[in-house]
Structure 1
Amino acid sequence: MNRKLFLFILSILFFVGIVLFSYKLFEFGLLSILCLVIIYFVTEKYRTTVSLFLFFLLGLMMFQIGSNYINAWGLSVEMNILINRSFLIFIILGTVVSLILSKQKRSVFASFPNWSKKVTLPFHTIPLPYFLLIGLVGSSTILIPLFVQQEMSYIKSMFLFGILFAIINATLEEVIWRGFLLSGLKSNVSTRYAVLITSIGFGLLHLSIGIPMLLSLLFSFGGLFYAIVVLKTNSIYPAIFFHIIINLGMVFNGWII
């Protein structure tokens, strides 16, 4: 089979699985998993990539089962959301199992940025600190509505929840998408394919928290931004920091609760 067609089919199975499990259509989601299992045993060249997709979906299934379970606990909305975000650890465990079975070691971009590095952009080269400053300014624009729309009393009441949500959600999502998946895919297929898959997948996973399809797909541009930051800095930490800022803005603007 043509390489591009094969990778395209893999990506479709992966995306369809994310959508089905996000909507808690477990029986149909298991069909995506079954197809990936079959492909895993009949192919060898891209077995590591198939394994990543397969175990990601298994982790997502466990994430959704856990989310269903805590909904019956009668917790506050804030606590329910925090535990739900913490359950992203199931997806991380799935990707870790995949890498262990594939006997692969990944750095997951865990190094700190080299501040003396220069970042190459389409038309010029700039020092890394300037590149990160641009990213920081861009991410911080989400905080602008706080100064014109929200009362300080609301922000104070949501402050602790906002901090916890931002740290838990941003860290776990970045470890999943830009840590394990981006690094894992990048080493087995092209960087372009790895960025495309992780960006779209990142957007689609927001379906699991009730965000509409169109808006979830728009979130893929956020995934693209974080992927560029990670690849340009060779570090996951700036992306986590920018993601935390975005999540804080979403909470304090009243978009989460």
Structure 2
Amino acid sequence: MLDESDTEVPLVGGTANRGRVVRVADTVRRPLRPASPATHALLRHLADAGFAGAPRFLGVDDQDREVLSFVPGTAITPPYPPWALTDEALDSLAVLLRDYHRAVRTFDPAPYTWSASPPAPFAGELVSHNDVNLDNVVFRDGRAVALIDFDLAAPGSGVWDVACAVRLWAPLRPDRYVDDHRRGRGLFRLRRFVDAYGLPDADRTRLVTAVRHNHEWCYDIVGTAAANGHAGFSEYLSGGALQRAERTRQWYDEQADRLQAVLL
């Protein structure tokens, strides 16, 4: 099924597995993790459910790497192409995320050991992706068609994934940290995303809180990995990320009422 003699091509993007993810023909090889059996069960479920927006799990190779199907298209890495930051691209991501949540609702996570789950108010509804970063979404013809890198997937909720997505894609941060044409449009794009997703009213009332928790949760993961010697995350934090994170926390507090008002 798999030709081990094919050339390995490093795949660019991401920090956690930087330099350790390769393409071999029409497959992707990635390091195994303690939660890999859970992720593999999730990907099998998505395939059985007919959800086309995720890689297929194909097995484990002779180097103890998981083998996934290669999803053709473009994952967004810096410098971000303008077409990936359009409102239409944002809409397509919202629809993709909604369709993922619909497909995963029938999956039972109980038999498996997962990565760290989101905090209790935002966990237990479904297995959320938990890392809807720009480089974890594959586009074709300007439209989001697949989610990749399910390493952080764990029992969470739909609103948690929406919080992660709008935080990074709107984006929700001080304008000083937005150096593309999204600057000044974060609140507009926040509302546009939740409308395209069809977020229920009950979740809109807790989305702003979820965004703040998601910001903290993600930086806790990065900080813990850096403290444990992860070179990529250590480099990221040393480049001013902690200062940006703190100023963004302050911005969430200052803008909480405006963020909530735009969702009503």
Question: Is the radius of gyration larger for structure 1 or structure 2?
Answer: 1
- Give TM-score scaled by structure 2 length: 0.29
Greater relative contact order, per chain length (Cα 8 Å cut-off, separation 6+): 1
More helix by share: 1
More strand by share: 2
- Give TM-score scaled by structure 1 length: 0.29
